[in-house]
Structure 1
Amino acid sequence: MKKFIVLLFLVFYSKTSSQSAEKSIVLKDIDSNLPIEDATVLIIKTKQILLSNSEGTVSFVLKGASNIQISHSSYLGVILRSTTIKENSTVIYLKSSVHDLDEIILTKKHPQKILKSLVENSIKKLTVPARLKVYSREFFKLNGVCTYYNDGLLNFQIDNRSKNFNSDILVEQNRCYGLIDNDISNELLGYNLNDIMENYYNFKYLNPLLEPDAKKEYEFLIKAYSANENYYLMTVNPIDGAKGLLDDFNIIYDNEKKIIIEVSSDVSASTIAGLKEKTTLGSKNIYKSLFKTIYRFDDTNYYLVSSREEIGFERIDNKKSTDIEVKNYFVTTGFSDQNFSFNENEVFKDKTLFNKKNVILSPYWNVSGLTFTDEEQEIINKIEMNH
């Protein structure tokens, strides 16, 4: 009888394990064999959204089988069945669509006017009300050493658009590790969660390109993707001789729906090299600055999928200089167009998670939608041990 019970348990355990398994895929460029970062992976069955990390890796737990949709603005999308993914990492190769980006679009309107209408239309099209379950992650590096880390699982309830924009934040879980130097202001740490969604949903980071003088400082150019006839790429780059800390922008948009799909910007090495070094007390010499947001349109809804921001600068102090780097990630793991119920005292009012007491109910980071790289995991383990 005992043998029968044990056998029955093993059969049941085997079936349960087979129905719920951890999957891992690595996305690579078919030509260069390099990893592909910021690819969006949608689990059709659960509607979970995932993002590939800098190693091209995406990990998730799935019960049963599901179709998996992989998309990236610079690659041809694919759909695969989860049953084709092995228990260990399965490498998926994507074909680049950027190689076919050779057709320049000539328009009667100046591209700046097109961009302005794209921003206006995108704001109108973004789904509101909306509930976004978001995973937030931040690394803080001081003088070359990563000394602080935080992440959290947040819910954003977005109620209005544009000038009347409003969002309420509820923090489900969070953790913060590390000791910050007394000379480092808390203002340097993390997203300002109170206005971050307003910036993303009103495309405020594109405001410098919409100013009248922008045409004197930037060159606007529009190109077409032959692999995706609906997608256009607008590049906005500082003209030769332009002065100041001006970014290079890439804006991918759906020319049929007139909505923005992706925005990325960075300050080029040549621009940074041309800046005059600041020496006054408290001034900052920026040596790295990049930004990227991805939006998704799924036939009925249009919403923010992810953002990534990195900044590095040297701060001039009294008798020394301090090197500071901040890297932030923001990933929407779940979306709904339904409101959720909450009490006013549950709403998160602070700017960052820095001063919030740790609330860890489950290993939420394992289903965050953004897999840790080996380097990131090592950093977190080290900071956590020394905390």
Structure 2
Amino acid sequence: MSLRRLIFIFLFFSVQLFSQAELKTLILKDKDSDLPIEDVTVTVIKTKQNLLSNADGVVTFELLGNSNIQIKHSSYLPLNVRASTLKEKSNTIYLTSNVNELEDIVVTKKHPQKILASLIENSKKKLTVPGRLKVYCREFFKFNGKYSYYNDGLMNFQLLDKSNKTDAVILVEQNRSINLTNDYMKEDLLGYNLNDIMENYYNFKYLDPLLDAVAKKEYDFVIKVFSKNKDYYVISAVPNENASGLLDDFAIIYDPDKKLIIEVSSVVSPLVLSKMKEKTSNGAKNIYKSMFKTIYKIQNSNYYLLGSKEEIGFEKIEKNQKKEIEVRNYFLTKNFSTNYYKYNQDEVFKDKTLHNKKNVILTDFWNESGLTATDEEQQIVNTIEEIH
């Protein structure tokens, strides 16, 4: 067969495949309340692409061919949807809650703190390493109530097999960092520290406060299960009346059979914040908002970090003036692979953040990120596109 003929066949099938690709939007809602559901994991089975619903319950993706769509959330019954049933560009899907009944308290011989410690150790061992995570990261910054800075990037984290520490080689494919206003101070920018992010997530560093001996005195530990959701147990750890300091309310969702952590979330409650004495010294920080959530995924024989979300707001005292700073970060593993890819040392990203990296924009990578922007976030993205 001639080369010209081969090229023709390749182009023909490429056009055919491209013509079958459709942009689809799913709006995920609670069947009873009609409210949007955030952090629903949506997986396109054919391409193994991961998506995560935003605060509006929305995911948007390109659908190529007739693939099943897997929809999961720890608080709802799982659902599989055939692509052929998605007749419209925008489709509303209702999920049935499996935690709408009273929970049962699980009575155990071991203290929940010890159970948590064994869960962490087992989860650390079972996380698939070596592995490669194709990740989209997005960060919003507010200064004195106004959005001031934005960055996002498409990266690959090559996880290396280390006995005591999870190390990662970072390769940045594309990124953009945009100053939205001159009314901010660069030194106040906070964001993901990409150099130790995998060490934190793969060793569950955010749960360290619950493992300290003093935590037994400061926290009320309870293990709960719902009658319609016995696939998952929840360890709740809430500061009690004897606790002092800026302590989070924790919820750890885990698979009791596989003994793997599925989700970790924490938030500093308004009650705890109200007890904090305001600091007035130069350089002090008064936190008024703090939350964190991370999700792990079991996919066949693989177990890996799916995504995370962090948000913090604080008032910084500096030279007799107050600065109000807010940061909102998102992190999503679009695809996971156990393949090892070769790279050159000069391609390795070694900085802590994407703040100072020169913009590299080859495609509209944010439109294929798996994280659909909310209406508010889309306004910021539109501003970026107007600036550039």
> Compared with structure 1, are the counterparts of its residues 237 and 88 closer, same or farther at alpha carbon in structure 2 (3 Å cutoff)?
same
- Which amino acid in structure 1 is aligned with residue 264 of structure 2? V
Residue matched to 1:330: 331
Are the aligned partners of 2:166 and 2:198 in contact in 1 as well (CA < 8 Å)?
A: no
Residue matched to 1:255: 256
Residue matched to 1:98: 99
CA-to-partner distance for each residue in 1:11-62, whole Å, 9 max, x for gaps?
Answer: x999767611101110000111110000000000000000000100010001
CA-to-partner distance for each residue in 1:58-92, whole Å, 9 max, x for gaps?
Answer: 10001111100000011111001011113331100
Query: Residues 143-158 of structure 1 correspond to what in structure 2 (within 5 A)?
Result: 143-158=144-159
State how far apart, in whole Å, the 2-side matches of 1:266 and 1:161 are.
Answer: 31
Structure 1: unaligned runs, 5 residues or longer: 1-11
Query: Residues 349-364 of structure 1 correspond to what in structure 2 (within 5 A)?
Result: 349-364=350-365
Confirm whether residue 201 of structure 1 aligns to residue 216 of structure 2. Answer: no
Are the aligned partners of 1:123 and 1:162 in contact in 2 as well (CA < 8 Å)?
A: no
Residue matched to 1:309: 310
State how far apart, in whole Å, the 2-side matches of 1:189 and 1:202 are.
Answer: 22
State how far apart, in whole Å, the 1-side matches of 2:287 and 2:101 are.
Answer: 34
Confirm whether residue 347 of structure 1 aligns to residue 351 of structure 2. Answer: no
Query: Residues 161-240 of structure 1 correspond to what in structure 2 (within 5 A)?
Result: 161=162, 163-178=164-179, 184-186=185-187, 188-240=189-241
> Compared with structure 1, are the counterparts of its residues 329 and 316 closer, same or farther at alpha carbon in structure 2 (3 Å cutoff)?
same
Residue matched to 1:31: 32
State how far apart, in whole Å, the 1-side matches of 2:318 and 2:36 are.
Answer: 39
Residue matched to 2:73: 72
Residue matched to 1:139: 140
Q: Percent identity?
A: 60
Residue matched to 2:381: 380
Please say which of residues 159-168 and 25-34 is displaced more in the overlay.
159-168
State how far apart, in whole Å, the 2-side matches of 1:364 and 1:170 are.
Answer: 15
Residue matched to 1:5: none
Are the aligned partners of 1:147 and 1:383 in contact in 2 as well (CA < 8 Å)?
A: no
Aligned CA RMSD, in angstroms, stands at: 1.9
- Which amino acid in structure 2 is aligned with residue 22 of structure 1? L
Are the aligned partners of 1:48 and 1:334 in contact in 2 as well (CA < 8 Å)?
A: yes
CA-to-partner distance for each residue in 1:205-238, whole Å, 9 max, x for gaps?
Answer: 0000000110011010001132232310110000
State how far apart, in whole Å, the 1-side matches of 2:15 and 2:162 are.
Answer: 50
> Compared with structure 1, are the counterparts of its residues 22 and 384 closer, same or farther at alpha carbon in structure 2 (3 Å cutoff)?
closer
Structure 2: unaligned runs, 5 residues or longer: 1-12
Name the SS for the 2:62 alignment partner.
strand
State how far apart, in whole Å, the 2-side matches of 1:123 and 1:203 are.
Answer: 8
State how far apart, in whole Å, the 1-side matches of 2:234 and 2:280 are.
Answer: 39
> Compared with structure 1, are the counterparts of its residues 179 and 94 closer, same or farther at alpha carbon in structure 2 (3 Å cutoff)?
closer
Are the aligned partners of 1:101 and 1:224 in contact in 2 as well (CA < 8 Å)?
A: no
TM-score, structure 1 as length reference: 0.93
State how far apart, in whole Å, the 2-side matches of 1:162 and 1:95 are.
Answer: 42
> Compared with structure 1, are the counterparts of its residues 161 and 75 closer, same or farther at alpha carbon in structure 2 (3 Å cutoff)?
farther
CA-to-partner distance for each residue in 1:118-145, whole Å, 9 max, x for gaps?
Answer: 0000000000101000000000000000
Aligned length in residues: 377
> Compared with structure 1, are the counterparts of its residues 13 and 188 closer, same or farther at alpha carbon in structure 2 (3 Å cutoff)?
closer
Are the aligned partners of 2:77 and 2:96 in contact in 1 as well (CA < 8 Å)?
A: yes
Are the aligned partners of 1:315 and 1:324 in contact in 2 as well (CA < 8 Å)?
A: yes
TM-score, structure 2 as length reference: 0.93
Please say which of residues 238-247 and 258-267 is displaced more in the overlay.
238-247
Are the aligned partners of 1:123 and 1:161 in contact in 2 as well (CA < 8 Å)?
A: no
Residue matched to 2:7: none
State how far apart, in whole Å, the 2-side matches of 1:350 and 1:84 are.
Answer: 45
Name the SS for the 1:382 alignment partner.
helix
State how far apart, in whole Å, the 2-side matches of 1:187 and 1:202 are.
Answer: 28
Confirm whether residue 50 of structure 1 aligns to residue 56 of structure 2. Answer: no
